[in-house]
Amino acid sequence: MKKGKPSVATADSGPKPPPPPSVEPELSLVVPFYNEGEGVEAFFEETLPVLRKEGIAFEIICVNDGSRDLTLARLLEQRKKEPRIRVLHFTRNFGKEIALTAGLDHARGRAVIPMDSDLQDPPALIPHLIAKWRDGHKIVNARRADRMSDSWMKRATAAAFYHIFNKISDTPIPEQTGDFRLLDASVVADLRRLPERDRFMKGLFAWIGHASAEITYERPSRTQGRTSWNYWKLWNFALGGIISFSRFPLRIWNYIGLSIAVMSFFYASFLVVRTLLFGRDVPGYASIMVVMLFLGGIQLIGIGILGEYLGRVFIESKQRPLYLVQRRYGFPEEEEDGGDA
């Protein structure tokens, strides 16, 4: 048998983009992009100098999360200038949590930093995160000193969410900490072992454990583009987070049911005694209506909560892949032009 077939240069191998560097990156940035076309250039203009100055071997994994604007074209433009920019192009919008997951799945660095593409996670902090990591911390959180860049309403609802979440969840999450943080490769490896579809990243980060260090920063407001989060999306995000990290909403119904049963018992005893003493009394339509409506409402809420959990069991049981990548740009295991759909 002849071994090592000589590689034949194909005729149509025109100007190929530079091959990905063979050195393993020390640092991977994971950056989700959703309709951020206008901001792509600014993002790299600010981020690349920081990384180059740091003198670290890096890669930037950009996840194009089904953008409907020029994001992909702009990313590929940047990639021509800097081959360490790699792009995962999703078949559709899968949401930020999934985009982050995909990025973490593909990251090869010994440290990984997930960050937003709208420069709300300041790249200038990267050296500080790395410094703490080099001191031996496996997780370095970036905590917002204040949220003055957010509206009053958003700050109030966020505070309420953290408060409730940390009261009823078994894995408390640090307040005022977004997804911007540094994760050691071993932590990322642990994260990859969590297969759930309902990915509340903040919770998953916390679930893994490990002692973490922290730096604080002031979160700037978005420079361009618009946030894709409205209050309905935020509500669903918060609800999803609580439901995937707490059984409290399920279990509370035992206690609600029990208290209502106990109260009914006393009320029934009272009625018996009253009837014995004062005889039968027919009027009572209003009180019956109130009790019926109240109990009906309580039962519906209980069923609704069951539905929330059951719906998630349904989703998990289908075992669908978390995301579909239409095309990868710059990943060694993939052909640059292999358009797998």
Residues forming the site for ligand UDP (CB under 6 A): 32-34, 36, 65, 93, 95-96, 99, 116-118, 120, 227-229
Q: In the bound complex, what is the minimum distance in angstroms from residue 223's beta carbon to ligand UDP?
A: 11
Strands, sheet with 85-90, edge to edge from the N-terminal-most edge strand = 212-217, 139-144, 177-184, 111-114, 27-33, 58-64, 85-90, 325-329
Residue type, 126: I
Of 120 and 176, nearer to ligand UDP (C-beta) is 120
State yes or no: residue 65 binds Mg ion (CB under 5 A). Answer: no
Round to whole Å and give the CA distance between 44 and 77. 11
Q: What phi and psi values does residue 285 have, to the nearest 5 degrees?
A: -55, -45
Of 145 and 256, nearer to ligand UDP (C-beta) is 145
Round to whole Å and give the CA distance between 248 and 244. 11
Of 20 and 44, nearer to ligand UDP (C-beta) is 44
Of 36 and 249, nearer to ligand UDP (C-beta) is 36
C-alpha pair distances (Å), 50 with each of 29, 47, 109, 251, 304: 12, 5, 17, 49, 49
CA angle 88, 33, 193 (to 5 degrees): 55
Of 237 and 309, nearer to ligand UDP (C-beta) is 237
State yes or no: residue 120 binds Mg ion (CB under 5 A). Answer: yes
Of 88 and 129, nearer to ligand UDP (C-beta) is 88
> What are the DSSP E strand ranges found in 52-199?
58-64, 85-90, 111-114, 139-144, 177-184
- Interface residue with Mg ion among 36, 65, 118, 121 (CB under 5 A) is 118
Q: In the bound complex, what is the minimum distance in angstroms from residue 291's beta carbon to ligand UDP?
A: 44
What does 95 interact with, of ligand UDP, Mg ion, none (CB < 5 to 8 A by kind)? Answer: ligand UDP
What does 34 interact with, of ligand UDP, Mg ion, none (CB < 5 to 8 A by kind)? Answer: ligand UDP
What does 149 interact with, of Mg ion, ligand UDP, none (CB < 5 to 8 A by kind)? Answer: none
Angle between helix axes 231-245 and 285-317 (nearest 10 degrees) is 80
Q: In the bound complex, what is the minimum distance in angstroms from residue 218's beta carbon to ligand UDP?
A: 14
Stretch of 114-122, 191-199, 243-251, 281-289 lying at the interface with Mg ion (CB under 5 A): 114-122
Stretch of 1-9, 111-119, 261-269, 312-320 lying at the interface with Mg ion (CB under 5 A): 111-119
Round to whole Å and give the CA distance between 243 and 310. 11
Q: Contact 49/130 with Cβ under 8 angstroms?
A: no
Of 230 and 317, nearer to ligand UDP (C-beta) is 230
C-alpha pair distances (Å), 269 with each of 42, 166, 168, 258, 287: 73, 40, 35, 17, 16
Q: In the bound complex, what is the minimum distance in angstroms from residue 233's beta carbon to ligand UDP?
A: 9
Residue 68 burial (10 A CB sphere; 0-12, 13-18, 19+): exposed
Stretch of 96-104, 117-125, 212-220, 278-286 lying at the interface with Mg ion (CB under 5 A): 117-125
Q: In the bound complex, what is the minimum distance in angstroms from residue 68's beta carbon to ligand UDP?
A: 11
Kindly list the residues in this chain that would bind Mg ion in the complex (CB under 5 A): 116, 118, 120
